[in-house]
C-alpha cells in the first residue's frame, strides 16, 4: 500500500502517528509524510526565513528516521486558509502520492492550521479522482480512505481504531527528536518535554488498546470511502496480559 500522512506543522506527524508510519514501513509499504506550513513562526528568537529552513531540514531528517518520502508544501505558518487555490494544491499533493490511505488532523484540533489542514484534505480527497480537474499530476484511480490522527495530548479525541506501536515507539521518539528547534522552544516557554508527551500519550492509548504503547485513530465513514477491511497495520508487540503472564511464570 501507499500511505500519505499530512500534518499542518513540521512536527505534527511525528507527534501523532510516526509509530504507525514506522510500522507500515517495516512491513514493506510506501510511506509519504507531507507538511503544509513551513513552521517559520514557531520560535521567537529565530528570524522566520532562517527558522523555515531549519524546520524543513529537521522535517526531512525525521522522515529519514521513519524511511518516509518527505513532501514540503511551504505554506506560511499560522496563515493557512481554506481557499480554492489551496484546495487545488492539496488535490495535487494527494495525486502526487497516489495513496491508498491518508492520515491527517481531525476537525476538532486546537490549532487553526490543524483545522484548516483537516478541511483542505477533506475537500481535496473527492476531487483527486476527478479526471477533468487538471493539476500537475494525473487524477487518482480510486477514492482514498481517510483516518484522523490523535489530537495533541489526546485531548477531546475518541479513537475508533488503535495501532500497537510497542515495537516502533523508539523510532517515533527518534524522529521527533530531530525537531530540536521545536523541542527547545516548548521546554523554554512552556516547560513541556514533547518526548515525554509522546511517551505518556502512547502509554495511555496503550492501556486502552491492551498494549504497552499505541496510537489512536478515527476512521472516516463517508460515501465511497468506507471499507469492510482494516487498513491500519497490526503490531507484533505482546499484549499487557501476555507481559503479566510472563512475569508470573
CA 72 from chain centre, in angstroms, equals 14
pLDDT at 89: 98
Q: What is the rounded CA–CA span in Å between residue 81 and residue 85?
A: 10
- To the nearest 10 degrees (0 to 180), the angle between helices 112-124 and 84-97 is 70
| Residue 247, pLDDT score | 47
Q: What is the pLDDT of residue 249?
A: 40
**For residue 208, what pLDDT is reported?**
97
Question: What is the mean pLDDT for each group of 10 consecutive residues in the chain (249 residues)?
Answer: 97 98 98 96 91 97 98 96 97 98 96 97 96 96 92 94 98 98 92 96 97 96 77 77 49
pLDDT for position 241? 52
Q: How many CB atoms lie within 10 A of CB 62?
A: 25
> How much is the pLDDT for 238?
59
Q: Which domains does the chain have, with CATH numbers?
A: 2-248 (3.40.50.10320)
Give the pLDDT score at 248: 39
Amino acid at each position: 500500500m501507499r500511505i500519505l500522512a499530512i500534518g499542518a506543522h513540521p512536527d505534527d506527524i511525528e507527534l501523532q502517528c510516526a509509530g504507525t508510519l514506522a510500522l507500515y514501513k517495516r512491513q514493506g509499504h510506501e510511506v509519504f509524510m507531507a507538511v503544509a506550513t513551513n513552521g517559520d513562526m514557531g520560535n521567537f528568537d529565530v528570524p522566520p526565513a532562517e527558522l523555515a529552513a531549519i524546520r524543513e531540514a529537521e522535517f526531512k531528517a525525521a522522515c529519514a528516521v521513519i524511511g518516509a518520502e518527505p513532501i514540503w508544501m511551504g505554506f506560511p505558518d499560522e496563515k493557512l486558509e481554506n481557499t480554492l487555490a489551496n484546495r487545488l494544491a492539496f488535490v495535487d499533493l494527494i495525486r502526487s502520492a497516489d495513496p491508498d490511505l491518508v492520515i491527517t488532523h481531525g476537525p476538532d484540533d486546537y490549532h487553526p492550521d490543524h483545522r484548516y489542514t483537516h478541511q483542505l484534505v477533506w475537500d481535496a480527497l473527492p476531487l483527486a479522482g476527478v479526471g477533468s480537474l487538471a493539476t500537475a499530476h494525473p487524477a487518482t484511480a480510486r477514492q482514498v480512505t481517510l483516518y484522523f490522527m490523535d489530537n495533541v495530548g489526546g485531548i477531546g479525541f475518541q479513537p475508533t481504531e488503535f495501532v500497537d506501536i510497542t515495537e516502533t515507539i523508539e523510532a517515533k521518539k527518534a524522529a521527533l527528536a530531530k525537531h530540536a528547534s521545536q523541542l527547545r522552544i516548548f521546554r523554554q516557554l512552556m516547560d513541556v518535554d514533547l518526548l515525554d508527551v509522546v511517551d505518556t500519550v502512547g502509554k495511555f492509548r496503550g492501556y486502552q488498546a491492551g498494549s504497552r504503547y499505541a496510537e489512536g485513530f478515527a476512521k472516516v465513514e463517508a460515501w465511497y470511502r468506507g471499507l469492510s477491511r482494516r487498513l491500519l497495520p497490526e503490531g507484533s508487540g505482546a499484549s499487557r496480559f501476555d507481559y503479566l503472564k510472563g512475569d508470573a511464570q
